[in-house]
């Protein structure tokens, strides 16, 4: 067994790991059922929101629109589910005392921390893909396909992606969302190597995420100068992929920034862990 | 000539301003069952953590199989295993799965080997049960199974009998002796119980307040044939008078009872002496606590 597969097995043998999947499933099913029950009224409101001269093929409320809508509503909440597992990745073994049993065996601490980090990324990716598959799957079953109408902050405000590109755009958006959420995971993972309890890293990383969301969105000039340094600024990367045309330069910049944060958080976690005195 | 399997040189660890272990020079030879004796807080676990690379020593170094343990961590630790403090496992996994995961960090382990290790500690029938359902004693035994799973040349056990009932303690001790005799494994065992070290070890070191007090063959350090006894007798004065008349009895203290030091083989003789002289002997027990041992060591030092 490779270290990575050991870490992944351990992660997926824990009940905690499934909380994220259960919450995601519950939320998505609930949202889509509610939308389905109010389909006509919501479609009317939605069409009113659009100026009259758009030509929309298929239903206005379709799988792609609803998926984008759910992603928008959940991307504040999903970080909790990521932190729940990532923040526990190292600290749970310190708390339970199993770290002592692992670290007296031959594999180096560098290899162990790296394997744990990739197991965390694996969980993050799986959760986001699960979210995506569920949104789209139920969406297609309930509402069918159609054009993806999305609301963007830039100009123009409303973007319509024709049905034949909507699927590809959605897939890319979810892949980007994995990258975006991996930063939350890395941060929680870093905190997890710093302390020997699980609550601290989970609360700590969520607090940091919320705080930087707030700082990044407050309309003060001196706070705006901070925006380029907040990782939350780049977490909206997936929305860029629902634009038309996609500004690939901007996507690249966001992706690099997110990867940079991932690398930085992991590097600190790595050096802390490799030098750490195991006192638990 | 026996070779040194484990050596510490000037090993020390400071937590904040306090030295938990200071200038420790241990030498464990191939084939030893080495008793590492010390009261709670003496620094036994801290020493073991340094030996197994969990803690970075503040001073000194550890050599295992003649190699620096930190510099050759991988090759050294592939031949060493143990338990550090209480046995903690993945509670949500079965005993089998725990051993599989931990063992596979050292090398490939076969199903038979896992069951073999579980059988040795009497847990084979519980292999598929989650460790969550195990008692402390069972976890302690699983800890031993984990330590011997990959058949290491050096096994380090940190107070493996703590929290066990007398029967459990006896089983662990027998297991240690078996490992040593049948497999030639070198065992380093820490304990706060003198009787335990005496029962299993051929060599020992005594640690107190982080410092090494004595090291050598158990028989030398425990004075071989003389030992302490505690006697409850009445009348006390009468008993003391009789004991005083016999130069082979050394009275250590007279309080509630009488503590004496005699050659072990004359214990029965002493008992008979008191009884035949009309003294009621309520109890007559060998006293072998670490405190007595410390007393003896400090006495020995002042005699020089
Ligand atoms: N992580 C730590 N931080 C501070 N002091 C510690 C730590 N671990 C152990 N100590 C201290 O070091 C001393 C030795 O402890 P320990 O090695 O656990 O003793 P033993 O195993 O012999 O009972 C004790 O005084 C203990 O309080
Ligand atoms: Mg201890």
Summarize pLDDT for A18-33 with one digit per residue, the tens.
Answer: 999 999 999 999 999 9
pLDDT score of A100 = 95
Instruction: Tell which residue, B77, B95, B166, has the closest CA to residue B133.
Output: B95
**Each residue of A13-29: b (16+ CB within 10 Å) or e?**
eeeebeebbebbeebbe
Task: Give me the domain span that covers residue A53.
Answer: 3-275
The Cα diameter of chain A in Å comes to: 69
What's the rounded mean pLDDT across residues B39-52? 95
* Domain assignment of residue A117, yes or no: yes
Contacts of A9 in chain B (CB under 8 A): 101
What's the rounded mean pLDDT across residues A95-120? 96
* Domain assignment of residue A280, yes or no: no
Rounded to the nearest 10 degrees, the angle between the axes of helix A248-275 and helix A163-194 is 20
pLDDT score of A164 = 80
Beta bridge partners of A151: A158
Rounded (5°) CA angle A133-A241-A146: 60
Rounded to the nearest 10 degrees, the angle between the axes of helix B95-106 and helix A3-12 is 160
Whether the predicted pLDDT of A145 surpasses 50 = yes
Judged by a CB distance cut-off of 8 A, whether residue A9 touches chain B is yes
Q: Which residue of A has its CA nearest to B84?
A: A100
DSSP H stretches of helix in A144-227 = 163-194, 199-217, 221-224
Whether the predicted pLDDT of B297 surpasses 80 = no
* pLDDT (tens digit per residue) in A242-252: 888 889 999 99
Distance CA A209, CA A213 (A): 6
* Domain assignment of residue A180, yes or no: yes
Interchain pair A6, B101: CB under 8 A: yes
Q: Structure tokens of B125?
A: 């029938």
- Report helix, strand or coil for B72: coil
Instruction: Tell which residue, B229, B169, B162, has the closest CA to residue B192.
Output: B162
Judged by a CB distance cut-off of 8 A, whether residue A164 touches chain B is no
Distance CA B163, CA B107 (A): 30
Judged by a CB distance cut-off of 8 A, whether residue B169 touches chain A is no
Contacts of B82 in chain A (CB under 8 A): 104
Q: How many CA atoms lie within 13 A of A251 on its CB side?
A: 18
Which atom of ligand 1 lies nearest, measured to the CA of B210?
A: 14
* Domain assignment of residue A18, yes or no: yes
Q: How many CB atoms lie within 10 A of CB B208?
A: 17
Whether the predicted pLDDT of A43 surpasses 80 = no
Whether the predicted pLDDT of B22 surpasses 50 = yes
Rounded (5°) CA angle B116-B5-B104: 35
Number of domains in chain A: 1
Q: Mutate which of B14, B15, B51, B197 to test ligand 1's pocket (most atoms within 8 Å of Cβ)?
A: B15
Contacts of A106 in chain B (CB under 8 A): 73-75, 77-78, 105-106
pLDDT score of B288 = 61
Q: How many CB atoms lie within 10 A of CB B284?
A: 19
Question: Are B115 and B127 in contact, with CB atoms under 8 Å apart?
Answer: yes
Rg (CA), chain A: 21
Provide the percentage of residues in chain B whose pLDDT is more than 70.
92
The residue that leads in pLDDT, B136 or A244, is: B136
DSSP annotation of A156 reads S
pTM for this entry? 0.86
What's the rounded mean pLDDT across residues B147-171? 94
pLDDT score of B194 = 85
Distance CA B207, CA B149 (A): 29
User: A108 phi and psi, to 5 degrees?
Assistant: -75, 160
Q: Which of B49, B75, B78 sits opposite A278 (nearest CB)?
A: B49
- Which residues keep their CB under 5 angstroms from ion ligand 2? B 45
Band of the pLDDT at B296, cuts 50, 70, 90? low
Beta bridge partners of B281: B233
* pLDDT (tens digit per residue) in B166-180: 998 999 999 999 999
Q: Which residue of B has its CA nearest to A94?
A: B88
Overall size of chain B counted in residues: 304
Determine which residue's CA is closest to atom 11 belonging to ligand 1. B20
Interchain pair A101, B52: CB under 8 A: no
- Report helix, strand or coil for B280: strand
pLDDT score of B304 = 32
Question: Are A231 and A265 in contact, with CB atoms under 8 Å apart?
Answer: no
Q: How many angstroms separate the alpha carbon of residue B32 from the centre of ligand 1?
A: 26
Distance CA A220, CA B293 (A): 73
Judged by a CB distance cut-off of 8 A, whether residue A48 touches chain B is no
- Report helix, strand or coil for B10: strand
**Residues 6 or more apart from B101 whose CB is under 8 A from it?**
A1, A6, A9, A10, B90, B93
Sign of the dihedral through C-alpha B151, B157, B162, B163: negative
B interface test, pick of A106, A110, A116, A275 with most B CB neighbours within 10 Å? A106
Beta bridge partners of B14: B19
Q: How many angstroms separate the alpha carbon of residue B104 from the centre of ligand 2?
A: 27
pLDDT score of A75 = 79
Q: Mutate which of B22, B43, B188 to test ligand 1's pocket (most atoms within 8 Å of Cβ)?
A: B43
pLDDT score of B228 = 78
Whether the predicted pLDDT of B299 surpasses 60 = no
pLDDT score of B173 = 93
Instruction: Tell which residue, B8, B39, B9, B11, has the closest CA to residue B294.
Output: B39
Rounded (5°) CA angle B117-B71-A274: 80
Average pLDDT for chain A: 90
* Domain assignment of residue A191, yes or no: yes
User: B253 phi and psi, to 5 degrees?
Assistant: -160, 155
- Report helix, strand or coil for B116: helix
Q: Flag the least confident range among A14-18, A190-194, B175-179, B287-291.
A: B287-291
Interchain pair A108, B73: CB under 8 A: yes
**Cα B49 to chain centroid, rounded:** 16
* Domain assignment of residue A12, yes or no: yes
pLDDT score of B16 = 92
What's the rounded mean pLDDT across residues A97-103? 95
* pLDDT (tens digit per residue) in B56-111: 999 999 999 999 999 999 999 999 999 999 999 999 999 999 999 999 999 999 99
What's the rounded mean pLDDT across residues A224-236? 90
Which atom of ligand 1 lies nearest, measured to the CA of B43?
A: 17
Judged by a CB distance cut-off of 8 A, whether residue B79 touches chain A is no
* pLDDT (tens digit per residue) in A179-188: 999 999 999 9
* Domain assignment of residue A209, yes or no: yes
- Report helix, strand or coil for B39: coil
Judged by a CB distance cut-off of 8 A, whether residue A102 touches chain B is yes
Q: Which domains does chain B have, with CATH numbers?
A: 4-222 (3.40.50.300), 228-287 (3.30.70)
| Assembly ipTM | 0.85
Average pLDDT for chain B: 90
Helix (H) and strand (E) counts in chain B: 11, 15
Question: Are A171 and A68 in contact, with CB atoms under 8 Å apart?
Answer: no
* pLDDT (tens digit per residue) in B250-269: 888 888 889 888 887 888 88
- List ligand 1's pocket residues with C-beta within 6 A: A 279; B 15, 20, 38, 40-46
pLDDT score of A49 = 63
pLDDT score of B302 = 41
Looking at the complex, report in whole angstroms how far the Cα of residue A88 sits from the nearest Cα belonging to chain B.
14
Beta bridge partners of A220: none
pLDDT score of A56 = 57
Judged by a CB distance cut-off of 8 A, whether residue A2 touches chain B is no
Question: Is-cis flag, bond preceding A156, omega within 30?
Answer: yes
pLDDT score of A138 = 95
């Amino acid at each position: 067994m490779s270290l990575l597969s050991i870490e992944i097995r351990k992660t997926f043998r824990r009940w905690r790991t499934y909380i994220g999947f259960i919450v995601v499933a519950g939320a998505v099913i609930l949202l889509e059922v509610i939308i389905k029950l109010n389909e006509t009224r919501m479609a009317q409101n939605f069409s009113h929101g659009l100026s009259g001269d758009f030509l929309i093929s298929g239903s206005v409320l379709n799988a792609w629109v609803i998926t984008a809508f759910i992603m928008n509503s959940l991307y504040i909440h999903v970080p909790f589910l990521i932190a729940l597992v990532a923040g526990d990745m190292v600290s749970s073994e310190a708390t339970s005392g199993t770290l002592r049993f692992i670290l007296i065996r031959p594999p180096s601490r560098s290899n162990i921390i790296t394997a744990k980090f990739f197991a965390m990324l694996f969980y993050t990716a799986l959760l986001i893909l699960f979210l995506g598959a569920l949104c789209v799957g139920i969406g297609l079953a309930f509402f069918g396909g159609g054009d993806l109408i999305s609301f963007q902050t830039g100009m123009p405000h409303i973007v319509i992606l024709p049905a034949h590109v909507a699927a590809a755009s959605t897939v890319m958006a979810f892949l980007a969302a994995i990258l975006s959420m991996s930063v939350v995971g890395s941060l929680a993972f870093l905190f997890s190597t710093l302390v020997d309890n699980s609550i601290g890293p989970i609360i700590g990383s969520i607090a940091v995420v919320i705080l930087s969301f707030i700082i990044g969105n407050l309309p003060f000039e001196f706070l705006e100068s901070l925006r380029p340094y907040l990782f939350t600024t780049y977490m909206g990367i997936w929305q860029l992929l629902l634009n038309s045309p996609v500004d690939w330069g901007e996507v690249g910049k966001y992706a690099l920034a997110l990867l940079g944060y991932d690398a930085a958080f992991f590097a600190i976690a790595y050096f802390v862990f490799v030098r750490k005195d195991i006192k638990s | 000539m026996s070779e040194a399997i484990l050596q510490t040189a000037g090993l020390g660890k400071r937590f904040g301003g306090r030295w938990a272990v200071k200038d420790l020079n241990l030498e464990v030879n191939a084939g030893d069952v080495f008793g590492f004796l010390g009261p709670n807080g003496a620094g036994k676990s801290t020493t073991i953590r340094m030996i197994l690379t969990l803690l970075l020593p503040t001073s000194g170094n550890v050599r295992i199989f003649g190699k620096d343990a930190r510099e050759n961590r991988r090759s050294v630790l592939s031949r060493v295993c143990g338990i550090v403090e209480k046995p903690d496992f993945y509670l949500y996994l079965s005993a089998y799965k725990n051993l599989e995961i931990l063992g596979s960090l050292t090398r490939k382990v076969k199903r038979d080997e896992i069951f073999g290790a579980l059988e040795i500690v009497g847990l084979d029938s519980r292999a598929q049960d989650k460790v969550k359902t195990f008692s402390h004693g069972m976890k302690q035994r699983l800890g031993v199974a984990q330590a011997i799973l990959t058949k290491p040349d050096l096994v380090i056990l940190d107070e493996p009998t703590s929290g066990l009932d007398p029967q459990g303690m006896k089983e662990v001790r027998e297991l240690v002796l078996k490992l040593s005799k049948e497999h030639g494994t070198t065992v380093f065992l820490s304990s706060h119980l003198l009787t335990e070290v005496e029962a299993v070890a051929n060599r020992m070191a005594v640690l107190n307040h982080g410092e090494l007090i004595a090291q050598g063959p158990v028989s030398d350090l425990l004075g071989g044939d003389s030992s302490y006894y505690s006697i409850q007798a009445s009348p006390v004065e009468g008993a003391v008078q009789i004991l005083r008349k016999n130069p082979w009895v050394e009275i250590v203290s007279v309080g509630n009872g009488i503590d004496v030091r005699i050659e072990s083989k004359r214990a029965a003789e002493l008992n008979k002496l008191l009884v035949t002289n009309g003294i009621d002997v309520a109890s007559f027990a060998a006293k072998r606590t670490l405190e007595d041992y410390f007393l003896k060591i400090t006495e020995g030092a002042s005699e020089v």
